[in-house]
């Protein structure tokens, strides 16, 4: 029984990279923003304070210890109507300054790989 389980894990490990796709955009701010179309091994969705669409961009307020920036996040966008967007922190903020109100981060529709005005929703939990 254990041998079959180990074999199944080995197959899963080999197949997982084939199931993911990643597109990287360079934002106007000079940061590299990673947008994943699908990814099964992604970190959990970040609990965010708020999110809105304003001035042609997704604006999300997240917790910060003083060094959080958009490039610290992976943004998953799934096709559909509306498109579903999930923010995942991939780089921890190890700074020591507690920012009481968090920080606002922006991703334009182009960063997200979406046409301007495309209906979309954020799947992240709210704090």
20 within some domain: no
- For 11-32, what is each residue's pLDDT tens digit? 334 334 433 334 333 344 445 5
Q: What is the mean pLDDT of residues 42-49?
A: 90
Q: Given a cut of 90, is residue 36 above it in pLDDT? A: no
Q: In what order do the strands lie in the sheet with 21-26?
A: 21-26, 32-38, 73-78, 83-89, 120-122
Q: What is the pLDDT of residue 114?
A: 95
Q: How many angstroms separate the CA atoms of 21 and 124, rounded?
A: 20
Q: Enter the tokens of residue 45.
A: 């969705």
Q: Is the confidence at residue 46, as pLDDT, over 90?
A: yes
Is there a domain that residue 32 lies in?
A: no
- Tally the domains of the chain: 1
pLDDT of residue 29: 47
51 touches 60 (CB < 8 A): yes
Tokens of 93: 């903020």
Domain span including residue 56: 48-122
- Residues 30-55, mean pLDDT to the nearest whole number: 74
For the stretch 71-108, pLDDT in tens is: 999 999 998 899 999 999 999 999 999 899 999 999 99
pLDDT tens for 99-126 read 999 999 999 999 999 999 999 999 999 9
Q: 47 - beta bridge partners?
A: none
Per-residue model confidence (pLDDT) at position 43? 83
- 8 falls within a domain: no
30, part of any domain: no
Tokens of 33: 């923003």
Under the banding of pLDDT at 50, 70 and 90, the label for residue 33 is low
Indicate the pTM of the whole model: 0.67
């Amino acid at each position: 029984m254990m041998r079959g389980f180990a074999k199944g894990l080995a197959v899963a490990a080999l197949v997982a990279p084939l199931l993911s796709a990643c597109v990287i955009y360079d934002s106007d701010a000079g940061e590299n923003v990673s947008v994943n179309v699908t990814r099964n091994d992604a970190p959990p969705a970040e609990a965010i304070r708020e999110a809105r669409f304003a001035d042609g961009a997704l604006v999300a307020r997240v917790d910060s210890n003083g060094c959080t920036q958009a490039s610290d996040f992976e943004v998953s966008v799934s096709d559909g109507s509306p498109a579903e967007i999930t923010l995942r922190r991939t780089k921890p903020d190890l700074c020591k300054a507690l920012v009481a109100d968090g920080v606002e981060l922006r991703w334009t529709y182009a960063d997200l790989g979406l046409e301007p005005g495309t209906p979309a929703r954020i799947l992240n939990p709210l704090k």
